[in-house]
């Protein structure tokens, strides 16, 4: 019957922030970006945020966590994701949920609109330089490599449509804290697209790259501090007479529940603490011991020390 066929649109959907250029004087931000773009001045072609092809250079744990999250969330089908590796175990890990595994990094780059570099810091320079002749500003490049600056990545790639991301290990369970920072030629839409992508494995913030060492000290290294805290809480439970399994289960769930309250209630953690510390009660007795031992200062020192170490490593 005429007129009943559902209209299917062939138009691509671009990210929310697509805006036509505004006539008149360019903003100071626009001028700054142009000055920073030392590389080719090709027009940046928007990437359709619902139908792009995503490639990973480095088929390791982080790439797998991101790819699994993206597929699970329905953001992209597995058929639009590819990576390269020659080892059977890594190939099987990706192929098991439908991601195409190629033999060479060059094949990944040639067949992707968004390329995520997820190799170790020691090899990233060689890997990017080797692919340089295939990289163009038509592609959005992303790095999750810890401690490697946009300035260097852009230099090695030959263009600055690059975004740096610092995710953390809870990416493996869909609960990452990721921070993104945009390179000189990356557009607002590019940032939006990458925020959505990393939103598939947790929460995402945008920050100036100058904060990345501090971010490494807090969210990058932070899961390890909390693993230590969970183990210590469980040890306390055992010292107080609990069986080990019960103590560990209670410690982990208590940290998860407390974090969930801090995230979901909108209350300041100091308020949440006050709410459970009744006068002369058990909790305030425990808190008193923590304060005597400098608990807050120790955590602050840990973040500052890890940030300092990150700065030392990324300046080497
Ligand atoms: N894991 C995290 O939670 C986390 C958090 C924040 C940032 N990161 C960053 O993410 C990056 C990847 O970490 P990861 O934990 O996923 O490490 P990983 O599991 O070791 O993955 C790295 C992968 O790169 C592959 N590779 C090595 N050289 C290569 C080359 N020339 N071409 C293509 N692939 C190559 C490795 O192959 P082989 O299997 O043969 O070694 C391995 O599969 C690192 O830079 C790290 O700093 C990770």
Summarize pLDDT for 127-171 with one digit per residue, the tens: 999 999 999 999 999 999 999 999 999 999 999 999 999 999 999
Q: Are residues 56 and 96 in the same domain?
A: yes
Asked whether residue 7 is domain-assigned, the answer is no
pTM of the model: 0.88
What pLDDT score does 224 carry?
98
Residues 274 and 149 in one domain: no
| Residues contacting 116, CB < 8 A, separation 6+ | 54, 55, 56, 57, 63, 66, 142, 143, 144
Of 21-30, 173-182, 240-249, 280-289, the one with minimum mean pLDDT is 21-30
Residue 9 falls within a domain, yes or no?
Answer: no
Is position 239 within any domain?
Answer: yes
Q: Can you give the pLDDT at residue 44?
A: 84
- pLDDT (mean) for 282-306: 98
Q: Which of 61, 222, 226 maximizes ligand 1 atoms within 8 Å of its Cβ, making it the mutation to test the pocket?
A: 61
Q: What angle do CA 75, 78, 80 make, to 5 degrees?
A: 85
Q: Is 299 among the domain residues? A: yes
311 and 177, same domain (yes or no): no
Residue 100 shares a structural domain with residue 191:
yes
**280 known member of a binding site:** no
Average pLDDT over residues 228-254: 98
Domain match, 183 and 304 both:
no
Q: Are residues 73 and 203 in the same domain?
A: yes
pLDDT at 43: 73
| Cα–Cα distance, 312 to 306 (Å, whole number) | 10
Domain boundary among 190, 210, 230: 210
| 22 is a domain residue | no
Cα-to-centroid distance, 145 and ligand 1 (Å): 8
56 and 153 in a common domain: yes
Q: Is residue 13 part of a domain?
A: no
Q: Is 3 inside a domain boundary?
A: no
Q: Which tens digit of pLDDT belongs to each residue from 22-48? A: 333 444 544 445 445 555 456 788 998
Q: Is the same domain home to 102 and 245?
A: no
Nearest residue (by CA) to ligand 1, atom 48, is 62
Task: Say yes or no to pLDDT of 20 above 50.
Answer: no
**Ligand 1 pocket residue status of 108, Cβ below 6 Å:** no
Boundary residue ending a domain (185, 210, 235): 210
pLDDT greater at residue 215 or residue 36: 215
Residues in contact with 254: Cβ distance below 8 Å, sequence separation at least 6, in sequence order: 233
Ligand 1 near 59 CB (within 6 A): yes
Q: With a 6 A CB cut-off, is 180 part of the ligand 1 pocket?
A: no
Q: Considering the domain boundaries, does residue 1 fall inside one?
A: no
Residues 35 and 134 in one domain: yes
Q: Please state the rounded mean pLDDT for residues 226-230.
A: 98
Q: Sheet of 176-182: strands edge to edge?
A: 100-102, 81-84, 54-57, 114-117, 140-143, 162-166, 176-182, 202-206
Mark whether 194 and 275 lie in a shared domain. Answer: no
- Residue 88 assigned as binding residue: no
* pLDDT value, residue 85: 97
Specify whether 284 is located in the same domain as 189: no
Mutational test site, ligand 1, from 57, 60, 221, max ligand atoms within 8 Å of CB: 60
Give the model's pLDDT for residue 290: 98
Residue 301 is assigned to a ligand binding site = no
Instruction: Say which CATH number the domain at 266 has.
Output: 1.10.3730.10
Q: Are residues 264 and 199 in the same domain?
A: no
Query: Considering 162, 183, 210, which residue would you say is the last residue of a domain?
Result: 210
In our burial notation (b when 16+ CB lie closer than 10 A, e otherwise), range 205-226 reads: eeeebeebbbbbbbbbbbeeee
Average pLDDT rounded to a whole number, residues 288-295: 98
Enclosing domain of residue 152? 28-210
Tokens of 169: 């290990």
Task: Provide mean pLDDT across the span 291-314.
Answer: 96
Q: What percent of the chain has pLDDT over 70?
A: 87
Give the pLDDT of residue 14.
56
Domains identified in the chain, total number: 2
The answer to whether 236 is a known ligand-binding residue is no
């Amino acid at each position: 019957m005429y007129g009943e066929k559902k209209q299917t649109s062939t138009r691509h959907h671009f990210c929310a922030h697509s805006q036509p250029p505004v006539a008149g004087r360019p903003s100071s931000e626009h001028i700054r970006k142009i000055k920073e773009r030392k590389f080719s001045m090709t027009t940046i072609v928007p990437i359709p945020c619902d139908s792009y092809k995503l490639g990973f250079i480095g088929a390791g744990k982080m790439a797998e966590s991101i790819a699994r999250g993206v597929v699970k969330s329905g953001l992209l089908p597995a058929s639009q994701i590819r990576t390269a590796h020659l080892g059977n175990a890594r190939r099987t890990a990706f192929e098991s949920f439908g991601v195409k595994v190629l033999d060479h990094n060059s094949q990944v780059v040639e067949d992707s609109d968004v390329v995520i570099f997820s190799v170790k810091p020691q090899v990233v320079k060689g890997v990017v330089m080797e692919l340089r002749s295939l990289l163009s500003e038509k592609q959005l490049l992303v790095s999750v490599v810890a401690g490697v600056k946009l300035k260097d990545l852009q230099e090695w790639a030959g263009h600055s449509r690059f975004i740096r991301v610092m995710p953390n290990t809870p990416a493996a369970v869909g609960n990452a804290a990721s921070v993104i920072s945009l390179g000189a030629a990356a557009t607002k839409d590019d940032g939006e697209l990458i925020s959505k992508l990393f939103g598939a494995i947790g929460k995402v913030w945008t920050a100036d790259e100058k904060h990345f060492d501090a971010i490494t000290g807090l969210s990058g290294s932070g899961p390890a501090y909390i693993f230590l805290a969970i183990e210590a809480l469980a040890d306390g439970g055992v010292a107080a007479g609990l069986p080990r399994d019960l103590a560990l289960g209670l410690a982990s769930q208590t940290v998860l529940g407390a974090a969930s309250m801090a995230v979901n209630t909108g209350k300041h953690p100091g308020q949440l603490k006050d709410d459970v510390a009744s006068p002369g009660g058990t909790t305030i007795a425990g808190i008193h011991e923590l304060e005597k031992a400098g608990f807050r200062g120790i955590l602050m020192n840990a973040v500052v020390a890890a940030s300092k170490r990150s700065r030392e490593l990324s300046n080497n």
